[in-house]
Structure 1
Amino acid sequence: MKHDTQIEAAFQIPDWSTPGEARERLDQEIDNFVTAAAAATAEPDAALALRVTAGLGKTATALRVIARHGEALLARGHVLIYVPTLDLAERADEEFRSLAPRLPSRVIRGRDAQRPDDCEKKMCDRAELAREISGFVPSVTQALCRGQDPDDNFVQSPCASGCPYLRQKDVPGPHVVLLSHAYLTVDPPIDRDFPIALRVIDEKVWPTLIRTSHLSIEDLMRAPTNLFPNGLYGNLSRATAALVDGLQRGLPLHDHLRSSGIDTEQLQELVRAEDRSRSSLEIGPWQSAEAVKFRVANFDTRSFVASKRRRRIFDSLSGKEAGHCVGLNLAEVTTEHGSQRMIMCSRMEAVAREAPLLLLDADVDRDITERVAPGADFISIQSPPIADIVQVSDRTLSGSWLLDLNEGARRRAGVLTILRHEVDKAAGGGVLVVATKAVLSALHRDLGRSIAKGDDDGLRQPLLGAKPRWFGPRTQGVNDYENYTTIVVIGRLQPGITDIETSARAVFAQDTLPITRHVSGPLPAVASRFLMADGSAREADLRAHPDPRVQAILAQSRECATLQAIARLRLVTPSHRKRVVILSSLPLPEFPITRVVPFAALVRGLDEEPDWPGFERMEKAMRATMGRPVRGARLSARGLTEDLPLDFPTEDAAKGFRKGRTSNHMMTLCERISRANGWPMVALSLKRPGGGKSTPAFILETHGDPLHHAKELWPDLTPFLA
């Protein structure tokens, strides 16, 4: 039977390259860009975004090209390479040192990071206090570590001498610097006497850059401090009143404030006034620990935070003369005092563009990239996965479905059955299983192991011999599982709709049109398709947000989380046969599937069954013959109705089932059902005494002559072994 439909013109098939071709082009594109940066022929704000299939070696290629041009680059300044985590930075630095042992390179570690020479200690002895005061002081280093006292004397705290965190600031000269994405929004401790020659960002970066804050209407309207200029009180009152009115009525805020008499210059005056009237936390390294503790405890954090957030709101409102202010909206926020209406301010921190910028990501999105790095060139380099890839067609296996109080345990039992099958098939080759933390915890519990919330080490314990991991940024860029044979992905990461809309407001804050809200209930289903490995398409349903910008963010968080997990097996050039089992019906963009099968078929270990609907129905009908003295049935429409009446009550029903299924198809289907259930079966051909077309039939579980049993069932027909 043919269930597939041919791909329509609008359906995009990737422009696949062989791994060799793709790697050659990847090296060429990165080399061209880095060469221009090293020779200072690139524009200072040049940017290139490369979408590269995981497993082609984008990070390794970038390191190799930078090593190739290292001397020329470092003659111009620092090379900063940002990766998702500190662990990946350390691995990249080790690889770079093996490529270019004579070039200076180093890893930047944050205050909270473990010391490389003593994992029991943090880089900063006062890391907790530093985190507590961050944002309330102009400089954490000057507030806690070293700086000028009121008498203009240089003073440093007792722990500053020999501090490994501060030592990083004192390393002279340009370096190839490896650091985590977190440093994209703060100044890294490097020698500022040298400029940045090249900046490289590896993997998805926009989640690190987005910022969301909320301000109650009460704090918005609260009277400012005595330091606020008296002459601006009127503008402040009009601006805040117009803001609240515009948000409540859903008006284009930039237009509404201008029509209310508040122009751009007045808004910028309010921004400057908030900056001047806001008092920072005043502490310094010359103060005793008790004095610092007292000042921190008694600092008016609420007023300080409210002022910074008002300033941020006014700054957003001053950004354009007309249209909507996408980054601002009203929202209901639950606090310890109950539900409160808050003004949400969403924005995205800008990536510095004083040096050429190279972006590397397996699933980079064009529209989001344009907001992260406006004007960036975009190049896609894709190679197809080489694996047996099976995907569920009829269940999303959402967290709510798997964790349902009444049916969840039974459903998870099916998942565990599949996992057990895959571990057996892998035969020691290694099986990676990826799900949400909540689902992994429930699976452990089903196996008699209770995992406390927050116990990541507990979640990492094997599940029936499979290695558990969860969706999230720590799966990005990791090569630890490239030699594994199988991955089983359970469900999908489904962020809350409100959270996704908030992220979209941050990423697309400078857009003209407002973000469309999804009011209530599940997201609407839209027609989508599975891309099949043979170039065909299978129809599928997809829950999608009505605003394409929000959908782009959702796909980056949901679909791409699954793709990132699968990419851990490095399927482009596998060293041995690999298998991917996707326990979710979520269509994955530009990812070819070998087979799509129902969840029940996978539970039964029958993912290669070519006619599962027929298998299910015919198996049920054949099982209904159990208990009869002789079990058998004819496979013609009339025979199905007469011999299996419970499942084929009318001849029309039987004809409908037979449509598209030849007699040979029916017989081989019954043979597969018999094998799956351990029922001995004999295929027969029945003929009428007067001749004519023979009728296919079968006898089950014979303990004698099958022709004799057939004669008992159909005395008017002559049976022959088929």
Structure 2
Amino acid sequence: MDLKTDTVIKRDRNGRFGGAGAYAVCVSAKETRFTPLAEAENQLSQALQAADFVLKQAPRDGDGVPTAIVRASPGSGKSTGQRKLMAACAVAGDPRLVAFHVPTLSLAEEAAQEAAELGLAAQAIRGRSAMQPDGDGPMCAKAETVERASRLGISVRENFCEREDDEGNVTRCPHFEWCAYLGQFKDQTSHRFLATTYFKLPNPDQAKPDQRVVDETFWQGFVKPLDIEAETFRTPRANLPRAKNGPQADLLKAAKDVIGSLENGSGPMSLEYSSADYRAFAQLEREATSKIPDFAPDQDSRTQSALLDQVERNHQMSIRLAALWDMLADAKANALEKCERVRLYHKNQKPVLRVLRKKPLPHSEPLLVLDADADPEILSALGCDIIQDTELFLRPNAIIQQVHDRRMATGTLRKSPILREEWRRIVTREVLRDRLGPNSGVLVGASKRVVQAFFEDAGYSFEGMTPAQANEVMLNTDLHGASWTWFGGRSLGINRYEQYSCAVVIGREEIPIHELEDKGRALWGDTAEDPLQLVEEDLAGQRILPEEEIPFEMTDGSAKGVKVPCHPDRRIRRLQAQAREAASRQIIERLRLARAVEPKRVIIGCNIPLPGLPVDALVSWQDLCVPRLESAVITGLIDNENFGLTYAELSRAAPKVFETEEAVKHFLRRNPVKKALFQQLKAGMTQSMKKRAFSLEHIKNNALSAHLKSLLSV
């Protein structure tokens, strides 16, 4: 594509103005330092061995969790390499117990099987609510009740499974003897494989690991906001005794003052209360917590559920209220001008206080993080003591095209059926290209809500389905001839698409500014001498990210850039990159590009540069779109076993392109060039195969694939 050296708005192939796209910049992007594929296995092995060595030597009495990071490209073999290393260590007599966390239970089972084949004593651990392997109900008969109690910090083992009193009397759950959940811990295996969800939970039994491995990202599970309605904050606490009426009156006055300061913009730090005052209020909130009921393992589920009902709401709210006062106490103790971890917003026209905090890491064992997108600054904020950080990037074997003049926001894609129809046509073109070639598959990725909109466009209804059921439909249905997935956990660690020939990413994941900043507040808020740089509202009350010039890493080394919305705070920008750039790359890397034998195709439908993916061609949105006639023919070939090149067949096969036969005729009368193309297609296909209707198999068997691809510009 011919890019001018100025920043004027570009015209598309039809001469119409498009969005402001890529332009020449003074300095090209920093070139990614790729490791040659022939050297990758050896270098990765050395990195994993070095990480293992430093973790074994790491002191256990430091301030943070000793952590080694191996940032290797998806598909580099880091997970398999680590399992091989663990197997070698076990053969050498290494007695360590290892907990290995992966994104999902299904991946844990795959990893455990592979580890067992390597000779490890390995087992996949299922959570209480997971279904038993034979599908006969959940692993724990009281799963729902137990999980409610666990969220309140109530000891599960003692209160719901088995308890021994001071005299040696043992009470047990009625399901104890045949409990599938407890049964999986009877065999003490040295290597356990678990879903990452369980990384933030206590150890499931008495066997404490010597080391943990987390494959892929995990930090998001430790950063969640706590919301408190302002009215609740001002309301008297029901569970405080009369003796506390005086302190409670002081607390309620302080609560009113805090809300007022947030509403008028002065903030709680402007109030006269001391850190000790705020800390005392936090302690008073804890005293208002409902007493934990007298649970016993031999109670039935109904009794235990009723006991939980008594305490649940009050207990959770007391924890939130205490956390709020603790945040204010910490900020006051550090003499900060404002408390960044507490803010006020409105929901349904009601004022709500939001408390932003990070949960402490529940485990202190040395930690190995295997994640291509791991960010040391984010992990350090969680409490990881980074003692080693190794990078290893592999060059993708792919031809990468990227739209340079559209951002494709999620909201725009969801609201525009026309835009989705254009993308449908692009997807079917790539499907046709694949079927006329390797016929190995096309993967399409977008935000989950956008993917669902495409399915609904095609007539699917998810009414009455649970989210899990809807997910299964979308993940396991070929729509327009392609497989579909979405940004986030569903794109991590999966190998099912590694043979596919093409990946299409539609749009990007963009976290709203307030949500992005809330995560930043939780991780780094109230850091003395380093306040967060937050985005202020403009005169219209809008919060808009400033734009920054970001260069594309081009395969040919040319210097091209584009304006991209970037958060002004360097730390929050890291969170933005995790959610936006890294999420797009993770979908693309499901094709395992580095180890592909033949170059694969990648279409990035958003103009935000992605690190580590050098671009071969920047294309305008208009140039990427599929013309009307070509789209109708492609749709007919993809969706029909037998397809004829007639006006009636075109409108029948592609009603979203041509609603009627007359619409086809009218279009061709007005477009002589397209009419000539139609005649060429008709003559080339029908005369060569002596058929009026044909299929893709007919075309391939008659060696007409190249001819068809040429005519349709596929």
Q: Same fold (TM over 0.5)?
A: yes
Any conservation in 2 of the 1:47–1:373 contact (CA below 8 Å)?
Answer: no
Any conservation in 2 of the 1:528–1:541 contact (CA below 8 Å)?
Answer: yes
**Cα distance per residue 1:373-424 (max 9 Å; x no partner):** 44414332222211011111122222332333xxx33322221221111111
Quick one: distance in 1 between partners of 2:102 and 2:536? 34
- One-letter code aligned to 2:117: S
- Partner of 2:82, secondary structure, is helix
Of 219, 223, 231 in structure 1, the residue corresponding to residue 236 of structure 2 is: 223
Task: Give unmatched runs, 5+ long, in structure 1.
Answer: 607-672, 681-722
Q: Which residue of 1 aligns with 2:8?
A: none
- One-letter code aligned to 2:116: R
**Cα distance per residue 1:579-603 (max 9 Å; x no partner):** 1011222222342111010122122
**Cα distance per residue 1:100-159 (max 9 Å; x no partner):** x2x43222221111112x124211112222234433462233333332579984211211
Of 207, 211, 214 in structure 1, the residue corresponding to residue 227 of structure 2 is: 214
Quick one: distance in 2 between partners of 1:590 and 1:293? 51
Q: Which residue of 1 aligns with 2:523?
A: 507
**Cα distance per residue 1:44-77 (max 9 Å; x no partner):** 64322222211211211222222222367852x4
Q: Which residue of 2 aligns with 1:391?
A: 402
Quick one: distance in 1 between partners of 2:401 and 2:675? 20
Task: Give unmatched runs, 5+ long, in structure 2.
Answer: 6-22, 629-671, 680-714
Change (3 A) 1:457 1:33: closer
Of 292, 295, 303 in structure 2, the residue corresponding to residue 283 of structure 1 is: 295
Quick one: distance in 1 between partners of 2:611 and 2:546? 18
- One-letter code aligned to 1:35: F
Any conservation in 1 of the 2:140–2:181 contact (CA below 8 Å)?
Answer: yes
Q: How does 1:449-528 map to 2 (within 5 A)?
A: 449-452=460-463, 454=467, 455-460=470-475, 461-509=477-525, 511-512=527-528, 513-514=531-532, 516-519=534-537, 520=542, 522-528=544-550
- Partner of 1:218, secondary structure, is helix
Question: How many Å apart are 1:508 and its aligned residue?
Answer: 2.1
Q: Which residue of 1 aligns with 2:128?
A: 111
Of 53, 63, 66 in structure 1, the residue corresponding to residue 73 of structure 2 is: 53
Quick one: distance in 2 between partners of 1:9 and 1:393? 18
| TM-score normalised by L of structure 1 | 0.75
Q: Which residue of 2 aligns with 1:554?
A: 576
- Partner of 2:304, secondary structure, is helix
Any conservation in 1 of the 2:28–2:551 contact (CA below 8 Å)?
Answer: no
| TM-score normalised by L of structure 2 | 0.76
Q: How does 1:62-81 map to 2 (within 5 A)?
A: 62-70=82-90, 75=95, 77-81=96-100
Aligned length, in residue pairs:
595
Larger Rg: 1
Quick one: distance in 2 between partners of 1:465 and 1:204? 31
Any conservation in 1 of the 2:532–2:569 contact (CA below 8 Å)?
Answer: no
Of 335, 341, 345 in structure 2, the residue corresponding to residue 331 of structure 1 is: 345
Q: Which residue of 1 aligns with 2:370?
A: 360
- Partner of 2:175, secondary structure, is helix
Question: How many Å apart are 1:476 and its aligned residue?
Answer: 0.4
Change (3 A) 1:171 1:218: farther
Of 258, 274, 283 in structure 2, the residue corresponding to residue 262 of structure 1 is: 274
Change (3 A) 1:132 1:559: same
Quick one: distance in 2 between partners of 1:352 and 1:288? 30
Task: Tell me if 1:31 matches 2:73.
Answer: no
Quick one: distance in 1 between partners of 2:521 and 2:242? 30
Any conservation in 1 of the 2:58–2:366 contact (CA below 8 Å)?
Answer: no
Of 378, 382, 385 in structure 1, the residue corresponding to residue 389 of structure 2 is: 378
**Cα distance per residue 1:489-521 (max 9 Å; x no partner):** 111222332222222222223534145145325
Q: Which residue of 1 aligns with 2:623?
A: 601
Question: How many Å apart are 1:214 and its aligned residue?
Answer: 0.8
- One-letter code aligned to 2:411: S
- One-letter code aligned to 2:418: R
Question: How many Å apart are 1:563 and its aligned residue?
Answer: 0.5
Of 144, 149, 161 in structure 1, the residue corresponding to residue 160 of structure 2 is: 144
**Cα distance per residue 1:204-251 (max 9 Å; x no partner):** 111111121111223223333235973754763565355435534555
Quick one: distance in 2 between partners of 1:15 and 1:676? 50
Change (3 A) 1:72 1:345: farther
Q: Which residue of 2 aligns with 1:179?
A: 194
Question: How many Å apart are 1:469 and its aligned residue?
Answer: 1.5
Of 83, 98, 109 in structure 2, the residue corresponding to residue 90 of structure 1 is: 109
Q: Which residue of 2 aligns with 1:342?
A: 352
Any conservation in 1 of the 2:509–2:583 contact (CA below 8 Å)?
Answer: yes
- One-letter code aligned to 1:51: R
Q: How does 1:573-592 map to 2 (within 5 A)?
A: 573-592=595-614
Q: Which residue of 1 aligns with 2:218?
A: 205
Structure number with the bigger relative contact order (C-alpha 8 A, sep ≥ 6) is 2
Quick one: distance in 1 between partners of 2:627 and 2:404? 15
- Partner of 1:54, secondary structure, is coil
- One-letter code aligned to 2:216: E
Deviates more, 1:474-483 or 1:498-507: 498-507
Any conservation in 1 of the 2:410–2:507 contact (CA below 8 Å)?
Answer: yes
**Cα distance per residue 1:265-322 (max 9 Å; x no partner):** x54444444434422244323435553344344x153322221112222333344522
Q: Which residue of 2 aligns with 1:413?
A: 421
Question: How many Å apart are 1:533 and its aligned residue?
Answer: 1.1
Quick one: distance in 1 between partners of 2:578 and 2:526? 20
Change (3 A) 1:154 1:502: same
Change (3 A) 1:71 1:286: same
Change (3 A) 1:272 1:166: farther
Q: How does 1:667-682 map to 2 (within 5 A)?
A: 678=677
- One-letter code aligned to 2:422: G
Deviates more, 1:146-155 or 1:506-515: 146-155
Identity over aligned pairs, percent: 26
- Partner of 1:46, secondary structure, is strand
Question: How many Å apart are 1:532 and its aligned residue?
Answer: 0.9
Deviates more, 1:395-404 or 1:145-154: 145-154
- Partner of 1:396, secondary structure, is coil
Q: Which residue of 1 aligns with 2:694?
A: none
Any conservation in 1 of the 2:381–2:523 contact (CA below 8 Å)?
Answer: yes
- Partner of 1:32, secondary structure, is helix
